[in-house]
């Protein structure tokens, strides 16, 4: 956790100090570092829990840092608070209500391609550290969380549409799925519990 805290402070410092070219017609300087903030919401599910559908809503947000190779290619990382999990709906016929909430601190490392400061395509991996779990069955806290694992590796793919005259704002769409299991599955036919989520996020670049 100390390493995560140090990275958070460094990335926040870079984000506050960095400037982004991002199509600004008055700025032709190449910037090695670019910083910003990202915030939005997730629609998630957990494969292996007997419940399907992206029914669990959650929040995601934190500082973002870009390291540019040139004007088209860059690596991005972030320090994100990321909520995942699963939730039953009235259409489920399991005889009970179910809600599973995971709170992660997550650090993605993504390769990005900037297409003429209009679109950004990205793909990579993310490490997540689970720090809070809530599992409710029929509204009651289950309380037995030993079957869940603290560490998660995920793959991430997505894209950002840049908007505005100077391209400081963007709308990001992301799909994320677990590479490693996040817990012992409820369904014996499943290998392990796997997080899947769709995200809609807003980005502001300084």
**Structure confidence at residue 39 (pLDDT):** 98
- What's the pTM? 0.82
Give the residues of the chain that fall short of pLDDT 70: 1-28, 93-94, 142-143, 165-166
pLDDT of residue 21: 46
Cβ–Cβ under 8 Å, residues 57 and 82: no
Domain locations in the chain as residue ranges: 2-205
CA distance 152 to 179: 8
Owner of token pair 């704002």: 169
Query: Residue 188 has what pLDDT?
Result: 77
CATH for the stretch 2-205? 2.40.160.20
pLDDT in tens, 106-156: 999 999 999 988 999 999 999 999 999 998 888 787 667 888 999 999 999
Structure tokens at 56: 């669990």
């Amino acid at each position: 956790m100390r390493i995560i805290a140090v990275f958070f402070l460094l990335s926040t410092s870079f984000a506050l100090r960095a400037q982004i070219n991002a199509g600004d017609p008055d700025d032709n300087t190449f910037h090695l570092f670019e910083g910003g903030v990202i915030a939005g919401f997730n629609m998630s599910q957990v494969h292996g829990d007997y419940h399907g559908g992206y029914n669990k809503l959650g929040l995601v947000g934190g500082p973002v840092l870009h390291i540019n190779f040139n004007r088209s290619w860059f690596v991005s990382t972030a320090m994100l608070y990321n909520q995942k999990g699963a939730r039953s709906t009235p259409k489920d016929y399991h005889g009970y209500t179910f809600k599973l909430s995971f709170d992660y601190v997550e650090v993605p490392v993504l390769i990005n391609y900037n297409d003429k400061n209009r679109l950004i395509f990205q793909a990579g991996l993310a490490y997540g550290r689970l720090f809070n779990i809530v599992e409710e069955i029929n509204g009651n806290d289950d309380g037995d969380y030993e079957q869940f694992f603290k560490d998660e590796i995920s793959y991430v793919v997505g894209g950002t549409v840049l908007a505005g005259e100077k391209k400081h704002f963007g709308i990001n769409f992301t799909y994320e799925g677990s590479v490693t299991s996040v817990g012992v599955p409820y369904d014996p036919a499943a290998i392990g519990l796997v997080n899947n989520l769709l995200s809609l996020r807003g980005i502001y670049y300084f």
